[in-house]
Amino acid sequence: MVEEQLLIRVGEPQDLDVLVDFNRAMAQETEGKDLCVNVVTAGVKTMLKNPNLGFYILAEYNNKIAGALMVTTEWSDWRNGIFWWIQSVYVHPEFRRQGIYRKLYEFVKEKARNEQNEPRVCGFRLYVERDNIVAQKTYQALGMQETVYKMYEELELG
């Protein structure tokens, strides 16, 4: 079984190209968006060079990247802790429905438990496209719960 033979690891600079490809594929599949390769490349490169912004976790099978996700942080004064936001989740189509995301998420949770830094990680959050029912069911099956919050944004132009 693929799941048992996975290497789960933190992303490194040499993962740039696959992370860019995964981000672009995810945006196309989930939202029909064609992301600019130069912008996404610069964004992934910035994250890889600045661990204070967050980090990537990758699942590797037979030297092929099967899936990845990104973790960023949010300070919670209500909990005196940090939420780890799981973003940019992508599992390559040939590896879907084989427990790849579950292994990535377990790794993230274990990494958070082992963090020795203060403040502590107080929880995990993610957002999911409202029509992506398969992903929603996966997150629920792993213990995550839908919240009462809606998300708003204003993108800076220029």
What is the per-residue pLDDT across 104-156, written as a single tens digit (0 to 9) for each?
Answer: 999 999 999 998 777 899 999 999 888 889 889 999 999 999 999 888 989 88
Give domain status of residue 146, yes or no: no
Give the count of beta carbons closer than 10 Å to the beta carbon of residue 66. 24
Please list, residue by residue across 92-114, b when 16 or more beta carbons sit within 10 angstroms of its beta carbon and e when fewer do.
Answer: beebeebbbbebbbebbeebbee
How far from 106 is each of 6, 35, 79, 88, 111, CA to CA, in Å? Answer: 12, 29, 22, 16, 9
- For residue 60, the domain's CATH number is 3.40.630.30
Give the separation between CA 97 and CA 100, rounded to whole angstroms: 7
**pLDDT band at residue 43, thresholds of 50, 70 and 90?**
very high
Give domain status of residue 10, yes or no: yes
Which tokens in the block code for residue 79? Answer: 């909990």
Give domain status of residue 149, yes or no: no
Q: Which amino acid is at 112?
A: A
Which tokens in the block code for residue 49? Answer: 């060079």
Give domain status of residue 153, yes or no: no
**What is the pTM assigned to this prediction?**
0.91
* Domains held by the chain: number: 1
Residue-level pLDDT at 4: 74
**pLDDT band at residue 1, thresholds of 50, 70 and 90?**
low
